[in-house]
Chain A
């Protein structure tokens, strides 16, 4: 290529490739060709065989699974000069895991895979250096993924950035200014200095430091509270999942206490507690909200927080007795779900995954449900039910109240009180939302429906009367400050 000396100097100046020898970089420079791509143009596709290693010279390359926006977690924008793009197509099994698309017009240097393979075949020490470098890149990407998954949920800039820098400490010079950043961030007086230092490092000559500084600036969002919330989530889960040889009622109580600790780190408002019956033993209704992804635990299990809030912060705090919830059975792939609920003694109903049950089995399950529910209420526990069966956003909640919970209440002897509780904002980040709950006035079905056993009359009450009022309570809960 015409400007080979310039390219050689450029490669020689890449700190990211420090692990390679000068002769390796000269080989790259000798065989590299310029590639210019327009914004939106694809460098390589997901699933495509690896054909080259590209080195970003200028511009921005977005890497991630096909589609979706750049979110810094699943799809990430890379703008660090010298960053090797497409390495995932050179390692086993030589196919790209991700697509690479230009976020803005970009210029890269392309080294064909055939050249790299030929050199590897003739020089095993080069192959070892190169693949150690690629393993280091892969490991760095995984570490960044871990950090981003966490900092995506948490706003504690001090901890997040300190961890980011600590995780890359082995790559940094002992004298690197990055080592001072965590100390700067810990004092409110020097936070401004931390930003200035990070910006200077980002714009400096050391590519590794610049990349870390850029990431640190990206993740600098305040989130100590969210870290604590996540820790609380983990403890709430472990309080249940790790309980051995403990009665379900005690496991539920421990769970409620762990959840009360968790919610202590959030902002919440509850109104209408005076509506709760004097003693437990009611059917407590709850609208069901989609959980924010930040509440997802590493085992893939999401603690659904709205019903946990009702159980712990409303019912357990009022009565000192942890209620029983009605939950669906675990899907086949939900090991965390199964481990969690198996210990709590909840009333289980079939998951939608199994499809419609045969009539005989449906009748048998319905009878079992009534029997178990009656037993729970007779023992003096509240029973929490989400009549929707599915989650949704606060706006428009509840979507559709199914009749099962009401038909159950109509069949129970003695007839229980039904206590509607409207919850709001549990679909937002816990650290930023004001969680709201409105306890509405209890009722008995026989007081509001002439014949609760009449399905049509029951449906009219639920759809035409209760649902609009329930939505108004949810709006009231959402507006609490």
Chain B
């Protein structure tokens, strides 16, 4: 794949990974252009690949009994990673992830990582846990920003 000059710089935290793992990720990563509406991960399905957003917009949907799936988060941030639950038991997606607009994504198969040295799993989990924590914090900030109110209205 060819997304840039440096090693897996589309993957936040790649600099903290072992060199051999970065090399593997670069070799196995595949770039995809996906159309709006494409389901990237289906809730409860086995996760085979990490999905990294390069461009476009991705929505995360949670299922609400009797109502159906509702969008609980959207992001346009390049480098957002989905499919992290494939790295720990039971290896299934905890939410449905869908392209909300035409997107470019990178997929990285997880099997070679999990089958590799344990320190690869440890390093990737440490990086992804940090990314997930940042994502949680972003959501909290968005929520608390929304509560402040009194900003410009839309209408004039």
Number of residues on chain B facing chain A (CB within 8 A): 61
Q: Report whether A291 and B66 are in contact in the complex, using a CB–CB cutoff of 8 Å.
A: no
Q: Report whether A150 and B62 are in contact in the complex, using a CB–CB cutoff of 8 Å.
A: yes
**Is A352 close to B, CB under 8 A?**
yes
List A contacts of B84 (CB < 8 A). Answer: 135, 139
Q: Report whether A389 and B156 are in contact in the complex, using a CB–CB cutoff of 8 Å.
A: yes
**Is B5 close to A, CB under 8 A?**
no
Q: Report whether A304 and B125 are in contact in the complex, using a CB–CB cutoff of 8 Å.
A: no
Complex Cα distance, B152 from A253, in Å, reads 25
**Known contacts A135-B125, A352-B152; is-contact A296 B146 (Cβ 8 Å):** yes
Chain B: minimal CB distance from A372 (Å)? 13
**From B13, B65, B126, B140, contact of A166 by CB (8 A):** B65
**From B72, B132, B133, B140, contact of A74 by CB (8 A):** B140
**Is B97 close to A, CB under 8 A?**
no
Q: Report whether B72 and A98 are in contact in the complex, using a CB–CB cutoff of 8 Å.
A: no
With most chain B CB atoms within 10 A of its CB, the pick from A92, A124, A143, A286 is A92
Q: Report whether B155 and A326 are in contact in the complex, using a CB–CB cutoff of 8 Å.
A: yes
**From A134, A149, A291, contact of B129 by CB (8 A):** A134
Q: Report whether A145 and B129 are in contact in the complex, using a CB–CB cutoff of 8 Å.
A: no
Chain B: minimal CB distance from A184 (Å)? 14
List B contacts of A182 (CB < 8 A). Answer: 65
Q: Which of A69-113 contact B (CB under 8 A)?
A: 73-74, 87-88, 90-93, 97-98
Q: Digitize B69-95: 1 where CB-to-A-CB distance is under 8 Å, 0 elsewhere.
A: 011111010000000110111101011
**Is B39 close to A, CB under 8 A?**
no
Chain-B contact segment, one of A206-214, A227-235, A271-279: A227-235
Q: Report whether A234 and B64 are in contact in the complex, using a CB–CB cutoff of 8 Å.
A: no
**Known contacts A68-B144, A293-B147, A298-B74; is-contact A349 B125 (Cβ 8 Å):** no
**Known contacts A328-B152, A389-B153; is-contact A149 B72 (Cβ 8 Å):** yes
Chain A: minimal CB distance from B44 (Å)? 9
**Is B115 close to A, CB under 8 A?**
no
Complex Cα distance, B152 from A406, in Å, reads 20
Chain A: minimal CB distance from B61 (Å)? 9
List A contacts of B62 (CB < 8 A). Answer: 146-147, 150, 163, 167
Complex Cα distance, B125 from A120, in Å, reads 13
**Is A159 close to B, CB under 8 A?**
yes
User: How many residue pairs, one in A and one in B, have C-beta atoms under 8 Å apart?
Assistant: 217
Complex Cα distance, B84 from A307, in Å, reads 42
With most chain A CB atoms within 10 A of its CB, the pick from B71, B130, B154 is B154
Chain-B contact segment, one of A51-59, A255-263, A314-322, A380-388: A380-388
List B contacts of A150 (CB < 8 A). Answer: 62, 64, 70, 72
Complex Cα distance, B65 from A158, in Å, reads 8
List B contacts of A385 (CB < 8 A). Answer: 155-156
List B contacts of A136 (CB < 8 A). Answer: 88
List A contacts of B130 (CB < 8 A). Answer: 88, 91-93, 138
Chain B: minimal CB distance from A262 (Å)? 14
**Is B150 close to A, CB under 8 A?**
yes
Chain B: minimal CB distance from A233 (Å)? 10
**Is B149 close to A, CB under 8 A?**
yes
**Is B127 close to A, CB under 8 A?**
yes
Q: Report whether A286 and B137 are in contact in the complex, using a CB–CB cutoff of 8 Å.
A: no
**From A131, A167, A227, A304, contact of B155 by CB (8 A):** A304
Q: Interface of B with A (CB < 8 Å)? A: 13, 16, 57, 59-60, 62-67, 70-74, 76, 84-85, 87-90, 92, 94-95, 117-119, 121-123, 125-137, 139-144, 146-147, 149-156
Q: Interface of A with B (CB < 8 Å)? A: 19, 64-65, 68, 73-74, 87-88, 90-93, 97-98, 120, 124-125, 127-128, 130-139, 141-143, 145-147, 149-150, 152, 158-160, 162-163, 166-167, 170, 182, 227-228, 230-231, 234, 286, 288, 290-291, 293, 296-300, 302, 304, 307, 325-328, 331, 335, 337, 341, 349, 351-353, 384-386, 388-392, 404, 427
Give 6 CB contacts A-B under 8 Å.
Answer: A73-B140, A152-B143, A158-B65, A231-B67, A293-B147, A349-B156
Taking A300-B146, A386-B156 as known contacts, 6 extra A-B pairs with beta carbons closer than 8 A to each other, sorted by chain A number, are: A97-B136, A131-B125, A137-B129, A162-B65, A163-B62, A293-B147
